[in-house]
Structure 1
Amino acid sequence: MRKLIMAVTGVAAAAVLGACSAGESGAPAGAAAPAGEVAPPVTTTTTVPPPTTSAPPTSSAPPTTTTTTKKKPSTTKPKPKPVEKPAAGVPCSISSGACVDLSAKKTWILRDGQVAYGPVPITAGKKGYPTPVGTFSVTSKVKNYHSRQFDAPMPNSVFFVPGIAFHTGSLSQQSHGCIHLSAKASAKYFSTLKVGDPVQVVR
């Protein structure tokens, strides 16, 4: 019995010694490297996670430039219209239109300060029916006018005052205010004078 115990004890001691020698030959994890050996470098990789939110793109619009061009005031003055002078040799101050001289019993057609037609003889209003004196303008024209008041034809009537006109009439008898002309002269006045043309009657 005693021999058996001693044998077992010896086997156990041998096992312990074998285990210790095995531990010295293989270094356990975490032990320092033996002297004379270089430890491998330790590499650490850090991964930065991408941002969860991204800032919206910023667009910078170019500044708007407004250019205002001011027009320079014109320094060119319009040329004044030439002043037309009265026709020479006639008693009227107008430069265009019809001129009537009651004292001389004559009439003219004027254009641009020149005598365009005339003088031609006339007869005017008799006593009680004077032909008005002044500056007027042609208001209307009637080729074959017939007076209801006097029941008489008055061809080539050119009115310049209500009820008063140039027209074909007797050159020997005075009128009721109108200007009597020969048939030829009245046709000329009718075709030449326009509505709005001046008519000046002087005495």
Structure 2
Amino acid sequence: MALVLYDDTVLSGLKRFHNSSATYNFANHTIQIKQNWKELGVAAVVWDAAIVLCMYLEAGGINLEGRSVIELGAGTGLVGIVATLLGAEATVTDREIALEFLKTNVHDNLPTDLLHKVSVKPLTWGKGLEDFSPFDVIVGADIIYLEETFQDLLKTILHLSTENTVILLSCKLRYQRDHQFLDMMRQHFSVVQVLYDQKVDVYIYKALKIHQTKEL
């Protein structure tokens, strides 16, 4: 049994995941995200990596105006919502089990005149990829954490990208295996760290496909 020291900041941080909603302000909009930890767990709460990625996008880390963007493992959909508000044509994806919850958050937080610019679709990494074409931008927040998904995640990113696609991965590097995924990425992509938020220990990596990469 691992010994976990008592820490007020950790406990207060976990408590926010059990709140039924969380409110954010991005792109001159108030966004109220529904959360459902009890039924959907990690897929239905807003993680720090998503918030940091939204801040990066809002600050102009990359121009999204008129660009096609896909969010992988979207969870609550916060990043996809912000991308749409910033001018992207967004496709927001997650597993089928989380889709209705995801749709609710996306549709409840976008103005009616922007709903045509976003679509919510099921995507299990490594499967059904023939239904998707490459995108201008791929974003993912805290999707690097299960080692058994790494091969399928990499296969998915490779399928969805061209040499012109920008990939932004926002994550906490909790374990050595997380670094191993970045090493896997480096076999096919040029990967650089573009931001580190020390306060919440979140990194953002930008990746571009290397010329003539081999598909998995």
Q: TM-score, normalised by structure 2?
A: 0.19
